[in-house]
Structure 1
């Protein structure tokens, strides 16, 4: 069978220069991936296991790009938001599961990311973190409710570009062991590294990134005619920019830091006495930029899905969506009042996101092989999607086991219940697809 016009490469149908000027939606997803939770995992991996997990860092960029590609296909070929597609082709119950899954994962993340942003801002300026929390919440509310999605897209493209350049610059003031780094590209899992590796991969393949993509492309007015542009967008943001970001942070950490208990902010501060204040400030400003861009990108995720579920518009032209967007931005200020050590909170955020991700991948694969899209997935795309489903499911199991290994408390109990509910939903969805396929054959 001949391929439809949507099966184009990333450089067909337009010049690279045009694509560079028009790209954007996947950069918002990349801003969330390049967040403090991912950074915490990268710091832990480098500090504890030297260069041994470099291959996982590289793999995370590839896996993240693949997940975004599948989400992109669903959005472009269906021309709908993911919640509306799920409701139409799976039913209301499934759409509610998806919305609740995303709202819980993104909502908890919003509070912890704000805590990180406020802490970094306080470290840089000396101003109380709670004041910074309120300030950033107001900036978000005014910017997003006033200008909407295009505001956050413009900001994150600037910030992510600056952050990548900052961390690349930091490599020039850090003594790298290129021989050991090259050996780290050979797959191996040192004892005790499984959970850290899961954290690195989980930051790139995440439910918020997968579910938001159909909405950001719709805001831009992209259709299957922009298939090449959308593919280029993913390669430039997730594979290249996010890949460089992750590798640079990991190499800096693996080369210098040996204390496995350091967190994101304290790791930056530790670089000062080790190799000079320039490395410290480069790392600290890079962390701050990444945290701010992640905060902005994450803010728009719950309003997208909730508005779609309620039948509202998903742009600021709909006043109800505008109010919802401002409310999420303002409520995020509460994160700055949480206090406590950020690293444990980031682990919880990554755990919640990771246990919710397999369901989102299963939903996307189901819909890409249904009448919801004009062209079903290829064997290669399905194989990649199934590999992602297997990996994300394994990550989820590892995180749940890690959370409950020290005994059940309020937080680990919540993660366990959430994981059980979402796990059952994922299994039921896979069973539903297999039953339908068996009935056809």
Structure 2
């Protein structure tokens, strides 16, 4: 890529940064802190793998959005049917809705720690800011904020590396793939933070908001790489290295981890970490807020922009309802893990839908065999993550919550199997036993 094209792409990128803003959030941070504080540098290779997996997931979603120039829910309804579309909407709304409340709780806690004001005051304040900013100004303000905040968060955490004693030799050892005893679920959580149902489904809508189509394929690919592979990758590695170098208690919350850095590495590290955590929470909350309105409006046939008063009202409602997250209280680490679990359970279905549609009449350009192979590998990995999270929930005993997670997981697993059967039947009935992706 020549310098002029690089500069042009850098100035125009944006939609994938909204997804990156959600990925680079407190749930991912909580998992990285747990991994680094509990197992040292051993899982550094998983952190790098998560950035690559997240980039692949966003690339597949980007490809579907560009080639159809429509929102994913509408494409699913046209090519699979209304039942499938509603299942996707429920999948997204459940995952994003629970995340919205817990992320607001995290942001309110961080704001209270930094200012001394009551978290509930901050919850209401941030909810109003969301409503005014998103419902009043629309997608443009979110994209700009996402780019600024994600860049700022990355700088904050990279800066913290200069005040924390990192052991280069031990870190290099963490690049060797290995899973010490007890790390399987933590590793699954790291990967799950980068490959998430909300990130996959929102991408077609953010690109529509920018008016991107097939002719922007190169720009969109650059956008995905810059936001997920580079920015999100650096964010993840920096947080992990800070935790692995200094922290030793894997049960610390994100806020408690920041406070623990004060006596361990100095107030500079503490405040850099708090600023990074606050910025990550704001950017994640803003990006996550638009996801339920996008899919619901698309399913109901509304425009997915603030020019449609119905969509604008829905966006304002989701923003204001976020304030209730601040009254949840309690330790946010367990809540963030639950958010990741619910999202991971819903992710394989979203990936399966994207791969299926990329190999159907929904798109005019055939999907290359390596791309499909990578997509199927991603589906296998995400399915394993979902199974691990469900198994962990059930190991603690079947409660109302774990039972609901299990029922949701079983429904979506059956839907994935149904998609596979539908694809095979379509190919056989169509007179060919050769998959489209092998053409």
TM-score, normalising length from structure 2?
Answer: 0.97
User: How much does 1:196 deviate?
Assistant: 0.5
2:26 is aligned with 1:36: yes
Do the aligned residues in 2 keep the contact of 1:56 with 1:197 (CA within 8 Å)? Answer: yes
Query: Could you tell me which residue of structure 1 aligns to residue 330 of structure 2?
Result: 340
Query: Could you tell me which residue of structure 2 aligns to residue 80 of structure 1?
Result: 70
Query: Could you tell me which residue of structure 2 aligns to residue 434 of structure 1?
Result: 424
User: How much does 1:156 deviate?
Assistant: 1.1
Query: Could you tell me which residue of structure 2 aligns to residue 296 of structure 1?
Result: 286
Query: Could you tell me which residue of structure 1 aligns to residue 158 of structure 2?
Result: 168
User: How much does 1:410 deviate?
Assistant: 2.0
Query: Could you tell me which residue of structure 2 aligns to residue 423 of structure 1?
Result: 413
Query: Could you tell me which residue of structure 1 aligns to residue 437 of structure 2?
Result: none
Q: For 1:257 and 1:78, locate their aligned partners in 2 and report how far apart those are by CA, in whole Å.
A: 47
Query: Could you tell me which residue of structure 2 aligns to residue 187 of structure 1?
Result: 177
Q: Any idea what the Cα deviations from partners look like across 1:214-245, whole Å, max 9, x if unmatched?
A: 00000100011100110000010000000000
After superposition, where does 1:33-432 map in structure 2 within 5 Å?
33-432=23-422
2:2 is aligned with 1:17: no
> Quick one: which of 1, 13, 17 aligns to 1:27?
17
Q: For 1:296 and 1:219, locate their aligned partners in 2 and report how far apart those are by CA, in whole Å.
A: 16
Count of matched residue pairs: 431
Q: For 2:333 and 2:23, locate their aligned partners in 1 and report how far apart those are by CA, in whole Å.
A: 16
Q: For 2:272 and 2:308, locate their aligned partners in 1 and report how far apart those are by CA, in whole Å.
A: 41
Q: For 2:27 and 2:358, locate their aligned partners in 1 and report how far apart those are by CA, in whole Å.
A: 30
Give the 3-state SS of the residue equivalent to 2:176 in structure 1. Answer: coil
User: How much does 1:438 deviate?
Assistant: 2.6
Q: For 2:404 and 2:326, locate their aligned partners in 1 and report how far apart those are by CA, in whole Å.
A: 22
Do the aligned residues in 2 keep the contact of 1:39 with 1:264 (CA within 8 Å)? Answer: yes
Q: For 2:3 and 2:140, locate their aligned partners in 1 and report how far apart those are by CA, in whole Å.
A: 24
Q: For 2:353 and 2:125, locate their aligned partners in 1 and report how far apart those are by CA, in whole Å.
A: 37
Q: For 1:375 and 1:13, locate their aligned partners in 2 and report how far apart those are by CA, in whole Å.
A: 29
User: How much does 1:193 deviate?
Assistant: 0.4
Q: For 1:275 and 1:12, locate their aligned partners in 2 and report how far apart those are by CA, in whole Å.
A: 42
Q: For 2:221 and 2:115, locate their aligned partners in 1 and report how far apart those are by CA, in whole Å.
A: 40
User: How much does 1:422 deviate?
Assistant: 1.2
Q: For 1:102 and 1:14, locate their aligned partners in 2 and report how far apart those are by CA, in whole Å.
A: 39
Q: Any idea what the Cα deviations from partners look like across 1:144-198, whole Å, max 9, x if unmatched?
A: 0111111111111110000000000000001111111011011000100011001
Stretches of structure 2 that go unaligned for 5 or more consecutive residues are: 433-439
User: How much does 1:425 deviate?
Assistant: 1.0
User: How much does 1:263 deviate?
Assistant: 1.1
Q: Any idea what the Cα deviations from partners look like across 1:346-374, whole Å, max 9, x if unmatched?
A: 11111110000000000000000001001
Q: For 1:437 and 1:268, locate their aligned partners in 2 and report how far apart those are by CA, in whole Å.
A: 54
User: How much does 1:14 deviate?
Assistant: 6.6
C-alpha RMSD over aligned residues: 1.0
Stretches of structure 1 that go unaligned for 5 or more consecutive residues are: 1-10
Q: For 2:364 and 2:2, locate their aligned partners in 1 and report how far apart those are by CA, in whole Å.
A: 20
Q: For 2:339 and 2:407, locate their aligned partners in 1 and report how far apart those are by CA, in whole Å.
A: 15
User: How much does 1:421 deviate?
Assistant: 1.2
Give the 3-state SS of the residue equivalent to 1:15 in structure 2. Answer: helix
Give the 3-state SS of the residue equivalent to 1:260 in structure 2. Answer: coil
Do the aligned residues in 2 keep the contact of 1:12 with 1:228 (CA within 8 Å)? Answer: no
Give the 3-state SS of the residue equivalent to 1:188 in structure 2. Answer: coil
Q: Any idea what the Cα deviations from partners look like across 1:257-296, whole Å, max 9, x if unmatched?
A: 0111111110010000111110011011100100110000
Q: For 1:41 and 1:255, locate their aligned partners in 2 and report how far apart those are by CA, in whole Å.
A: 16
Q: For 2:17 and 2:276, locate their aligned partners in 1 and report how far apart those are by CA, in whole Å.
A: 17
